[in-house]
Structure 1
Amino acid sequence: MRKELLMTLNTHTPDVERWLSAHGWSPGRDIGERADELVSLRVRGAAEQGSPLTPSAAAVRVIRSYGGLELPYPGGEPKMTLMMDPTIGFRGDARQIAELAEQLGSELFPVAFETYENGVWLVDGTGRFFYLHHTGGYFLGQNEFEAFANALSGDTLADAEDYFV
């Protein structure tokens, strides 16, 4: 996907942690009530779209820890940013999120938006990360560090259908 732009990032967790830390994250970070506000806004927005979404504890944990961060991709243009905000999406995304969740047999909730590809990052109830893109759904990783590393590596992502029930 973006391999040519990301050759300088080693995908080992320490490098991902350095990348996150350089953009405002630290272990134990918690945006507190702001996370609750963001979740409530997204829940209301999804309901208005006619496709209710329910946040899992895992999704709320991710929003509390990373919410509000703007994470530019290394070597990318300024527009290549992962916005850690569950309220950013695209028209009709709640329906598509609900459909993907049904196919996976697990609730999904948005936690971020990628500005370059205009895709939504999602977390299921077990903490797995998925990516909703106009070309379909993809698996990002078993947890946030694996998801960050896989997305930044530029490697081809696994199809979400490999995880369908």
Structure 2
Amino acid sequence: MRPPATPDEVEAWLRRHGWTPDTRRTAEADRLIDARVRDSAGQGFPLQPWDAVRSFVSRYTGVEFPAPLAPERAFVADPTLGYQGDAEDITELAAEVGRRLFPVGYEFGEAGIVLMDDLGRFFYLHHTGPYFLGQDEAQALSSLMRGDQDEVDDYCV
């Protein structure tokens, strides 16, 4: 993976698309997360969020963040997008990385699911397989902005 974008570059990207540091859409985030919880339970693989998931989604939901070099791809902090059977795939990836995972958004254009683990790391579940986006929110947003990702194998138990 390339070195991450600077915090200033990431913040400028976010702001260009309507985000501000004081953004909090808590009610909308709760509604989306609760819908995802119900959907995963209906699939037979219940997923449970935690406070950091709710915080992340509340700060970024409601805004699309197109990738500067590939504007047909955009990150959207909406955990409800998925595909039939995705809760099982998320559960399997959680077992591989040895941590709880929960969807925090998706990448429009590629239909990849962005996941957060309970250590604050971010992963990307794509039809070509799982990938690692970053050790923290800053690295993950940089990866989403630049279209970078790393092989997940180094982050599995």
Common fold: TM-score over 0.5: yes
Structure 2: which amino acid aligns with 1:122? L
Q: Is the 1:81–1:116 contact (alpha carbons within 8 Å) kept by the matching residues of 2? A: yes
Alignment counterpart, residue 14 of structure 1, candidates 3, 8, 14: 8
Q: Paired residue for 2:111?
A: 118
Query: For each residue in 1:74-120, what CA deviation from the matched residue of structure 2 results, as whole angstroms up to 9, or x when unmatched?
Result: 1434x321121011112211110011011111110101111222100
Q: Paired residue for 1:55?
A: 49
Shift of 1:51: 0.9
Structure 1: which amino acid aligns with 2:110? E
Is there any run of 5+ residues in structure 1 with no aligned partner, and where? Answer: 4-9
Q: Paired residue for 1:6?
A: none
Distance between the aligned counterparts of 2:52 and 2:153, measured in 1?
A: 21
Q: Paired residue for 2:131?
A: 138
Structure 1: which amino acid aligns with 2:135? Q
Q: TM-score, normalised by structure 2?
A: 0.91
Q: Is the 2:99–2:117 contact (alpha carbons within 8 Å) kept by the matching residues of 1? A: yes
What pairs with 1:6-85 in structure 2 (closer than 5 Å)? 11-77=5-71, 79-85=72-78
Q: Is the 1:73–1:81 contact (alpha carbons within 8 Å) kept by the matching residues of 2? A: yes
Secondary structure of 2:19's counterpart equals coil
Structure 2: which amino acid aligns with 1:159? E
Q: Paired residue for 1:147?
A: 140
Secondary structure of 2:70's counterpart equals coil
Structure 2: which amino acid aligns with 1:160? V
Structure 2: which amino acid aligns with 1:66? Y
Whose strand proportion is higher, 1 or 2? 2
Alignment counterpart, residue 102 of structure 2, candidates 96, 99, 109: 109
Query: For each residue in 1:27-52, what CA deviation from the matched residue of structure 2 results, as whole angstroms up to 9, or x when unmatched?
Result: 12110211111110000011111110
Runs of 4+ in 1 over 3 A off after TM superposition: none
Is there any run of 5+ residues in structure 2 with no aligned partner, and where? Answer: none
Alignment length (residue pairs): 156
Structural RMSD (CA) = 1.9
Q: Which has the higher contact order (CA 8 A, sep 6+)?
A: 1
Q: Is the 1:56–1:107 contact (alpha carbons within 8 Å) kept by the matching residues of 2? A: no
Q: Is the 1:39–1:60 contact (alpha carbons within 8 Å) kept by the matching residues of 2? A: yes
Q: Is the 1:42–1:86 contact (alpha carbons within 8 Å) kept by the matching residues of 2? A: yes
